[in-house]
Chain A
Amino acid sequence: MNDRSPWTDPSWIRGMTQRRMSRRDLIRNAAVGAGAIGISSILAACGVSGEAQTTGPTAGEEGSAQWWADMKAQGPGDHINFTNWPAYIDRDFSVDGPGSRPSLYAFTQSTGIDVTYRADINSNEDFYAAIRPALESGQDTGHDIIVMSNFQELSEMIALGYLIELDPELHPNFDQYAGKNFVDPVFDPGNKYTMAWQSGITGIGYNTNYVDGPITSLDDLLNPKYAGHMAMFNNSPDAGCSAMIHLGIAPETSTPDDWQKAAEYLQKFNDSGGLRGWMDQSYLTAIENEDLWITMAWSGDILNDKLYFPEYATFEFTIPDAGAVIFIDNGCIPNKAANPVGAEMLMDWYYDPKYAAMLTEWNAYFTPVPDGGEIVQADAAAAKGANKEVLQTIASSPYVFPTTEFAQKLHNYRVLEGDEVQTWNDIFNPIFLT
């Protein structure tokens, strides 16, 4: 929970001193009161607002230049709430307390800002659902930094104006070191709202204690030998796009007909009787408990388990021969965040190649910082002892440093626009509910 007194919490003070109810809200609320005469007018008044924002913040509003200038004058505060996905930050289990996250600890040491780090995000859909009510009513979500995949939820948050537009002056490292694939992404032109945290591949993870032979296709998950111990992701971008790639369809240019074909393929998993479940991040616990033997998986989760935990040494990660889909998880600052200046400083901190390398050496994901990758390579070459093998495996893994040939197998998600969202959801979401 928020461990600060309300008296020192800038978001609280802002909330108490600034107008919260807009004129539109006032008119709408008045209408509810006046309309109480007729039931149908009440029925008509209880709308749910959406109203996509087409322009940026107006002068003085959150995210505007003036607002950032005021915020920077106040300083970065002494505390940041950073909410991320599990298995996503470097750990040192020989140390207790904040020192057990070395790169984050270095940030605190250098800036004096305390960071409460929570690995609370298990799915984009559920996490967005949890914070949406606060965002909708203009309240602080309690998070200064959140990490969202390049899914529909992130696009919706940008469109609805739920994220604070970043201050271009607060990310010097990003400007200098961000890799070209991570600058100006299609889901956030000009990086107005986001900076990539890490990126990875949605492929197949398995435990060689139970699964033998090369795994080359999504069809291998349907092998009756693994019935009851096989799982798929329950998010439509991963499941849907992976199915399309399996069927030889490029997801980026796919049509609703292609989605239908992919859905029919995914339906096979329901009909097989062997599917353990359509899962979110909980798949990782399930494969660690050996409830799952083979599953759709995110690259770094499996590689990190395999390399750093002896009990998971039998885990393997691979991608189908047909190819796989690549995701980008993005740091962003939700509206009314208590410490936007500190949040952006921290996001930029990880674009320093030194700290980017610390992340990659632990979590085995794609780094958005090419110079950080060079440091990983150099560290691997220079390493000695037990660490040597681990670092060399990471440095030579195509799942962390893809070769040009390998990169050709990787696809992006389908970017959905307008009514396509509803069509896509109607096609894919019923599959996950059987």
Chain B
Amino acid sequence: MERHLQPDLPDVEVPERRKKRARAPYGLAAPALVWLFVLFVIPMIAMVSLSLQTGNSLEGFRQTFRFANYTDALSQNGDIILRSLRNAAIVTGVALLLAYPVAYWIAFYGGKFKNVFLFLLLLPFFISFVIRTVAWSFILSDNGIIFGTLKTLGVLPDSYRVLGTTFAVIAGITYNLLPFTILPLYVSLEQIDRRLVEAAKDLYASKRKAFTNVVLPLSMPGIFAAVLLTSIPAIGDYVNASVLGGPGTTMIGNVIQSEFLRDRNYPEATALAIVLMGIMLVGAIIYARLLGTERITEA
């Protein structure tokens, strides 16, 4: 015998208004989704497609699903990828060391001039960064305003130079990315409740202990964001290496640029770009796991 355990309930009609309300978030997200689809998803698919093709720029490229493009790209450029990662690590470290005191000082001692200081910090960046980098190549020129003078004064030997060295490339990238390090640090330092520092001192913490036990941990979200915002563009940078660098300073961005523009070997160039993106993505994920993802959103 069949038994209905459930009592028969009358069909309840969901009010039209609530249905509409349930759809509203999708409607609101639509412009962003369309944007992402057109400007991110489609280009990504086009890139992945191109990276598996073969051919040349004269006869065109055909899809052959040649995965060897990836292994070729990796095996030929392994040392340059490592160099880019090393440079980016140095840049990030140096930028953090330079940026933290600046951000700290503005946040804690800037007073009513905080915005003025921040504006001054950003002021040079109203000029295109390529132009600023080229300007550095003139300033750092062997007989330019700095080294020319020092050489005339006999402080430096005639053959001394900075242009065309790894030092120049790393310094250039650091200079160009410094605001991206300072700003997130500033934001997180600015948010720290000053009473916590006072409380630490009331509890007999030295100034140093108050910093290491209170301020530094509370600014971790800022450090986390600063490291990501500095290291990711640093790995892919090619302008500094091409303007300030020389032989032995090529970065992976230069190789991709050259594959695209000089060799017009689009498949290998896109394969390399995707490999680079993968490396950065994996790096960022590991980093986020180690430090906790919620910190990104806090900063």
Interface residues of A (CB under 8 A from B): 39, 42-52, 125-126, 129, 156, 159-160, 227-229, 269-270, 275-278, 289-291, 421-422, 425, 429-430, 432-434
Contacts and interface: CB of A to CB of B under 8 A. Distances in A.
B169 to A, nearest CB: 12
Q: How large is the interface on B (under 10, 10 to 19, 20 to 34, 35 or more residues)?
A: 35 or more
Contact of B60 (A50, A227, A275, A433): A50
A45 B50 CA distance: 10
A425 B141 CA distance: 32
A433 B265 CA distance: 15
A43 B262 contact: no
B139 to A, nearest CB: 11
Contact of B53 (A47, A160, A429): A47
Interface string B33-60: 0000000000001101110110111111
Contacts of B45: 39, 42-43, 46
Contacts of B143: 289-291
A276 B164 contact: yes
Interface string B264-279: 1110000000000000
B115 interface: no
Nearest to B158: A210
Nearest to A272: B247
B119 to A, nearest CB: 31
A9 B161 CA distance: 50
Contact of A159 (B58, B261, B263): B58
B247 A277 contact: yes
A425 B263 contact: yes
A39 B76 CA distance: 29
Interface of B: 45-46, 48-50, 52-53, 55-63, 65, 76, 80, 138, 141-144, 159, 161, 163-164, 245-248, 250, 254-255, 258, 260-266
Contacts of A429: 258, 262-263
Contacts of A126: 261-262
Contacts, number: 105
A421 B58 CA distance: 10
Between B45, B52, B55, B57, the greatest number of chain A beta carbons within 10 A of the residue's beta carbon is seen for B57
Given A46-B46, A228-B164, A156 B58 contact: yes
Contacts of B144: 289
Contacts of B48: 43
Nearest to B51: A43
Contacts of A289: 138, 141-144
Given A50-B56, A276-B164, A270 B262 contact: no
Nearest to B80: A433
A432 B250 CA distance: 9
A43 B49 contact: yes
A433 B144 CA distance: 27
Contact of B261 (A45, A49, A129, A430): A129
A50 B262 contact: no
B97 to A, nearest CB: 29
B131 to A, nearest CB: 15
B262 A125 contact: yes
A422 B57 CA distance: 10
Nearest to A42: B45
25 contacts: A43-B52, A43-B65, A46-B63, A47-B53, A47-B61, A48-B53, A48-B55, A50-B58, A50-B59, A125-B262, A129-B261, A129-B262, A160-B58, A227-B159, A228-B159, A275-B247, A276-B163, A289-B138, A290-B143, A291-B141, A421-B56, A425-B263, A430-B76, A433-B250, A433-B258
Given A50-B61, A160-B58, A125 B246 contact: no
Contacts of A278: 247
B82 to A, nearest CB: 14
Between B144, B159, B247, B255, the greatest number of chain A beta carbons within 10 A of the residue's beta carbon is seen for B247
Contacts of B141: 289, 291
Nearest to A130: B261
Contacts of A277: 164, 245-247
A51 B62 CA distance: 11
Between B60, B76, B80, the greatest number of chain A beta carbons within 10 A of the residue's beta carbon is seen for B60
B247 A434 contact: yes
A129 B269 CA distance: 14
B255 A433 contact: yes
A46 B50 contact: yes
B252 to A, nearest CB: 10
Contact of B246 (A129, A156, A275, A433): A275
Contact of B260 (A44, A129, A270, A291): A129
A46 B43 CA distance: 10
A137 to B, nearest CB: 14
Contact of A156 (B57, B76, B163, B254): B57
Given A125-B262, A421-B56, A432-B258, A47 B163 contact: no
A241 B296 CA distance: 54
Nearest to A49: B60
Contacts of A156: 57-58
A259 to B, nearest CB: 15
Nearest to A136: B57
B60 A42 contact: no
A229 B159 contact: yes
Nearest to B52: A43
Given A47-B60, A52-B58, A290-B142, A434 B248 contact: yes
